[in-house]
Chains A and B, each alone.
Chain A
Amino acid sequence: MRVIDIEKLTRDYGSGKGIFDVSFQVNEGEVFGFLGPNGAGKTTTIRHLMGFIKAKSGRCTIRGMDCWQERCKIQEHLGYIPGEISFFDDMTGTEYLKFLAGYRRLKTANRMAEMMDRFELDPKSKIKKMSKGTKQKLGIVAAFMHDPEILILDEPTTGLDPLMQSRFVELLAEEKSKGKTILLSSHIFEEVERTCSRVGIIRQGKIVTLDSVEALRKRHVRAYQVTLESEALARSFAADFGGSCQGRTVTVAARQSLEDIFMHYYGGGDHDERDPV
C-alpha cells in the first residue's frame, strides 16, 4: 500500500532551481532513501510533504490525504526531523520536550524516556547552549516520542558522532521491523545502505534514478569474460575469482560498492539518464 505518494510535483524557484516533475512512492513498511547533492531539492520535496508549502503543480498525498489540505490530520501519525533544526532557544531541553508533549496533547506515557536513554541525551541545559549534536539528539527524541507510524527524516544524523549515528541506524532498523514507513534523506551512503530497501536520487530538481538497492546493484555489475588456455586453468581461475566457468571461458563480475554507484549519479557521469545542463 502506498503511504507517501508524490506525483509530478513541481516548484520552480527560477534560474533552474527548485524541483521539477518529481514523482515517487513510498510503500507501507518501507524505508526509502532520498539522496542527492546539495541544493538538489530534497528539503523542498519534504516541505511539500509536511504541508509547509503548497504544491504549485502536481500533487502529493500521505495515506491518500492531500499534504496541504489535510496537513493537520496527517501530522497525527507523523514524525519529522527538519534539515535545519531550530528550537525555542529560551527553553531547556526538558522544558521543550514537555512543551511538545502538551502541545501535541499526548495522553499516554510516550517514548520520550526510552529515546533519551538510547541517545544518552541530557536535556537539562538551555537549548541555546547545547552543542550541535545534542540539539540533533533533541530533534530525534522530539520526532520519535509520540511513536509515529510515518517518519520523514531530513538528514537526521548531521552532527552526530559515529557511535550515535550507528545507534540511529539501529533505531531505524527496529522501526522498520515494526512496520513503520520511513522517508530518509541523507548524505551518508553507509546509513542508506544499512537501512534503505529502495532509493531515489534527485539531481538539479529531477529524479534521476528510482529503484531498489538490489536492482541498482545488479544494474551496475560489470562482467568480464576471460578465455584461458585450458579448461583446467579456467576452472581454477573461476574458483579463485568467484566466476562461472563454461569450457575455457570464465565470466567474472565486479560488484561496485553502493558508494561508487551513488557517486555515479551524483556527479552526473556519462550515464544516459543525465539531465541536459
Chain B
Amino acid sequence: MNGTLYKREMKGSVKLLLIFGAVITLYVTIITTMYEPEMMATLDSFYEVMPEMMAAVGMKAGATSLIGFMISYLYGFILLVFPMVFCILRGNGLIGRYVDRGSMAALVAAPVRRSTIACTQMSVLVSGIVLLAGYTTALEYAVAESSFPGELPLDQLLTVNTGLLCLHLFLGGICFLASCLFSDAKYSVGFGAGIPALMYVLQMLANSGGKAENAKYFTAFTLFDANGLAAGETAALGGAFALLAGAVVLYAVGITVFCRKDLHI
C-alpha cells in the first residue's frame, strides 16, 4: 500500500460516494417509512395487476415483516444497482483510465512496485464499497428504529447486508479485473460495465419466471439471496461465501495481470 496514492484516490472517490450516499439515503428513508399494513395492501394490489413487472425488479407480494418488506422493495433494485454503478465508475477510473491516458507512466516510473500500485487501487475500490455498505446498514437501522422501534432485528439486517457486501465486492472484482486486463478504455469500460449490467438484466429476466428462469445460472446475482440470508439458510450463506471467494480470486487475478502486462505508455 502506498499511503499517498491511497489518499489521493480516496479523495477522488468522495464525490461519487456523496452522490450515491445521498441517493441511497433518499430511497431508504422513503421506502422504509412506507412500511404500513395499508400501504402493503396497495403495493400488493400493484403486484396483482402487473406481477411480471414487479417481480423483474425483485419485488414480491406478501412481505409481512419489516425486513421482508425492505428486502422486497430495496434489495431488488436500489441497493443492487447504485453500488454497482459506483463499482463500475471507480473500478475503471483506478487503473484502466490511467493506462489509456498514459498518466499511469507517472505511477510506474517511480520506485513503487506494480503490485503495490494495484493493491492500493484495489483497497480504494474496496474501501468505497465497504463505506457504502456500512452507511446503508447504519441508515437502514436508524430509520427503522426511529419509525418502527424494535421492528427490525439487527442480526438479520447485518446478515443480509454482509451478503450484499459480498455481492458488491464480487461485482467490483469484475470491474477491477477488466480495468487491469485491458489497456484500451473501450474494452476496460466495455467489459467492466457490460458484464455486471448484463448480469443484472439476466437477473431481471430470471425473476420474471417461466422459461427465462434458467437465466439465473448465468448471473452472480443469483448467489445473493436476501430472504434466505434473513432466514439464516445455509444455502444463502454459502452463496454469499461463494461471492466473497470469487471476489478474492478476481482481485488476485487483476493484480497479477497488471504486474505482468506490457504498458505502452
Which of these, B103, B109, B265, contacts A87 with CB under 8 Å? B103
Can you name 9 A-B pairs with beta carbons within 8 Å? A52-B105, A53-B262, A73-B111, A75-B110, A80-B109, A87-B106, A88-B103, A100-B106, A103-B107
Identify which of residues 88-147 in chain A touch chain B, using a CB-to-CB cut-off of 8 Å. Answer: 88-90, 99-100, 102-105, 142
Mark interface residues in B101-143 (1 if CB within 8 Å of A CB, else 0). Answer: 1110111111111100000000000000000000000000000
Known: A72-B111, A75-B110, A100-B110. A86 touches B262 (CB 8 A): no
Considering the chains assembled together, what is the distance between the CA atoms of A71 and B260 in angstroms?
12
Contact between B264 and A76 (Cβ–Cβ < 8 Å)? Answer: no
Contact between B4 and A103 (Cβ–Cβ < 8 Å)? Answer: yes
Known: A52-B265, A82-B102. A90 touches B110 (CB 8 A): no
Mark interface residues in A44-86 (1 if CB within 8 Å of B CB, else 0). Answer: 0001001111100000000000000001110110101010101
| A13 closest partner in B (C-beta) | B264
5 nearest CB pairs, A to B? A102-B4, A86-B102, A53-B262, A75-B111, A76-B111
Known: A51-B108, A80-B109. A103 touches B5 (CB 8 A): yes
Known: A52-B262, A52-B265, A103-B5. A86 touches B101 (CB 8 A): yes
Residue B23, interface by CB 8 Å: no
Considering the chains assembled together, what is the distance between the CA atoms of A84 and B105 in angstroms?
10
Best-buried of B3, B106, B265 by chain A (most CB within 10 Å): B106
Chain B residues proximal to chain A, CB less than 8 Å: 2-5, 8, 12, 101-103, 105-114, 260, 262-265
Which of these, B105, B113, B260, contacts A82 with CB under 8 Å? B105
Contact between B102 and A103 (Cβ–Cβ < 8 Å)? Answer: no
B187 CB, min distance to chain A CBs, angstroms:
19
Considering the chains assembled together, what is the distance between the CA atoms of A50 and B262 in angstroms?
11
A254 CB, min distance to chain B CBs, angstroms:
44
Chain A binding surface, main DSSP class = loop
Considering the chains assembled together, what is the distance between the CA atoms of A73 and B105 in angstroms?
16
Query: B8 to chain A: which residues have CB within 8 Å?
Result: 88, 99
Known: A82-B102, A86-B102. A50 touches B109 (CB 8 A): yes
Considering the chains assembled together, what is the distance between the CA atoms of A178 and B65 in angstroms?
77
A179 CB, min distance to chain B CBs, angstroms:
21
Considering the chains assembled together, what is the distance between the CA atoms of A150 and B4 in angstroms?
25
Which of these, A47, A54, A103, contacts B112 with CB under 8 Å? A103
Chain A residues proximal to chain B, CB less than 8 Å: 47, 50-54, 71-73, 75-76, 78, 80, 82, 84, 86-90, 99-100, 102-105, 142
Best-buried of B2, B3, B4 by chain A (most CB within 10 Å): B4
B121 CB, min distance to chain A CBs, angstroms:
13
Contact between B110 and A103 (Cβ–Cβ < 8 Å)? Answer: yes
Known: A72-B112, A86-B101. A54 touches B106 (CB 8 A): no
Query: B103 to chain A: which residues have CB within 8 Å?
Result: 86-89
Query: B110 to chain A: which residues have CB within 8 Å?
Result: 75, 100, 103-104
| A51 closest partner in B (C-beta) | B108
B183 CB, min distance to chain A CBs, angstroms:
11
Considering the chains assembled together, what is the distance between the CA atoms of A142 and B262 in angstroms?
23
A41 CB, min distance to chain B CBs, angstroms:
13
Contact between A72 and B109 (Cβ–Cβ < 8 Å)? Answer: no
| B8 closest partner in A (C-beta) | A99
Known: A90-B12, A103-B2. A82 touches B109 (CB 8 A): yes
Considering the chains assembled together, what is the distance between the CA atoms of A78 and B108 in angstroms?
12
Query: B263 to chain A: which residues have CB within 8 Å?
Result: 47, 52-53
Contact between A52 and B108 (Cβ–Cβ < 8 Å)? Answer: yes
Query: A47 to chain B: which residues have CB within 8 Å?
Result: 263-265
Query: A86 to chain B: which residues have CB within 8 Å?
Result: 101-103, 105-106, 265
A258 CB, min distance to chain B CBs, angstroms:
31
| B106 closest partner in A (C-beta) | A87
Query: B111 to chain A: which residues have CB within 8 Å?
Result: 72-73, 75-76, 104-105
